Amino acid sequence: FLTLFVSELIFAINLLLEDIYRVISGIFHLIFEGSFVIPGRHPFLIEFGIGLFFVSVFLFAYGMLKGKYAYRVIKHKLYFKDLPEAFDGFTITQISDVHAGSFTNAKAVQKGIDLINKQESDLFVFTGDLVNNKAEEIKPWIGHFSQIKAKYGQFSVLGNHDYGDYVKWENDLIKRGNLQQLKKYHAELGFRLLLDEHVELNKNGEKIILAGIENWGLGFGERGDLQKALQGTTRDEFKILLSHDPSHWEAQVKNNPSKIHLSLAGHTHGMQFGIEAFGIKWSPVKLRYKHWAGIKRENDRVLNVNRGFGFIGFSGRIGIWPEITVIELKKG
């Protein structure tokens, strides 16, 4: 339905634009010639509109059949002057927004898991939205995601969908039980869930801080407590933060007195629709988030927004493909 609706809408807009031109031409003819004459439709524009219709149908069909599982690896090499020497060359694989309840193709998902493990990163992190609404959605996929392993561990945080806020529950006790079950599933996956806390990663006598907070997003629940997560750390220790929603970086992180060198987020999905080609980077989600994907640097701090591993709402992806991020930390 959505495919036909959007394709027909594009065709209709094409005709509407031509009609506007025809009416304006008729008005000018009335002013200067004394009679209101509307020119006929141009055959080329009709053919062009039909062409747009079929291109739209093709793009939506591809996005729904192939694009939503067209995993790609995006690599970033990030330089930090105050990175501990022992962590020069340290690698992190990040995925976000699994939305397990939307998956229907186990073979395709396994290809994504294999691609994650192929990176052989030192650390794996997941930045929230394991499910759409209910904990049980991840259960059929535990065997897949539990295959993910990294030398320094697998860590995760919660996203806005993980709390079950978008479905009706019989009572609050059942809703809270759902969240507790989801936390147990994180453990079954082999993910250490960080809930407003941090851990130390040690290597050759040096350390970096990995912190994670509960979801904090403008308009999506401000649950996370950054200060609690950083309690016991010093101002200038090298810190990496897992925080699902990039609006948190803008609101609390980029100017925080305690320097957070690298923040990893997700949430936006790039709206699962847009274009990133020929030097163009555009998605409708930019109307909500100024920085909606990739790397942003400000105030000597870095944010990466992952485009998401899964999908929700629209069962597809067009132009904004599912992402596996690999970040290499470099001193310099």
Cα dihedral 218, 183, 112, 274, rounded to 10, equals: -10
Q: What percent of the chain has pLDDT over 90?
A: 80
Q: What is the rounded CA–CA span in Å between residue 322 and residue 22?
A: 43
- Whether the pLDDT of residue 11 is over 70: the answer is no
Q: What is the rounded CA–CA span in Å between residue 67 and residue 65?
A: 6
Helices 2-33 and 43-65, axial angle in degrees (round to 10): 160
Q: Label residue 35 by pLDDT band (50, 70, 90).
A: confident
Q: What percent of the chain has pLDDT over 70?
A: 95
Annotate the chain with three-state secondary structure: CHHHHHHHHHHHHHHHHHHHHHHHHHHHHHHHHCCCCCCCCCHHHHHHHHHHHHHHHHHHHHHHHCHHHCCEEEEEEEEECCCCHHHCCCEEEEECCCCHHHCCCHHHHHHHHHHHHHCCCCEEEEECCCCCCCHHHHHHHHHHHCCCCCCCCEEEECCHHHHCCCCCCCCHHHHHHHHHHHHHHHHHHCCEECCCEEEEEEECCEEEEEEECCCECCCCCECCCHHHHHCCCCCCCCEEEECCCCHHHHHHHCCCCCCCCEEEECCCHHHHECEEECCEEECHHHHCCCCCCEEEEECCEEEEECCCCCCCCCCCCECCCCEEEEEEEEEC
- Whether the pLDDT of residue 10 is over 90: the answer is no
User: What are the domain boundaries of the chain?
Assistant: 2-64, 70-331
- Whether the pLDDT of residue 8 is over 70: the answer is no
What is the mean predicted confidence (pLDDT) over 123-129?
Answer: 98
Q: What is the pTM of this model?
A: 0.87
pLDDT of residue 56: 74
Q: Read off φ and ψ for residue 69, nearest 5 degrees.
A: -115, 15
Q: What is the rounded CA–CA span in Å between residue 321 and residue 301?
A: 26
The residues pairing with 75 across neighbouring beta strands, listed in sequence order, are 326
70-331: what CATH class? Answer: alpha beta
Q: What is the mean pLDDT of the chain?
A: 93
What is the mean predicted confidence (pLDDT) over 253-267?
Answer: 97
pLDDT of residue 89: 98
Q: Label residue 40 by pLDDT band (50, 70, 90).
A: confident
pLDDT of residue 73: 98
**Could you tell me which of 70, 27, 4, 111 has the C-alpha nearest to residue 311?**
70
Across 11-15, 30-34, 260-264, 291-295, least confident range: 11-15
pLDDT of residue 37: 76
**Cα 309–313–314 angle (5° rounding)?**
80
**Could you tell me which of 212, 238, 239, 236 has the C-alpha nearest to residue 226?**
212
Q: Label residue 141 by pLDDT band (50, 70, 90).
A: very high
pLDDT digits (tens, 9 = 90+) for 187-239: 999 999 999 999 999 999 999 999 999 999 999 999 999 999 999 999 999 99
pLDDT of residue 2: 55
Residues 6+ apart with CB under 8 A from 87: 201, 203, 206, 208, 238, 329, 331
pLDDT digits (tens, 9 = 90+) for 229-253: 999 999 999 999 999 999 999 999 9
**Could you tell me which of 110, 109, 111 has the C-alpha nearest to residue 99?**
109
- Whether the pLDDT of residue 104 is over 90: the answer is yes
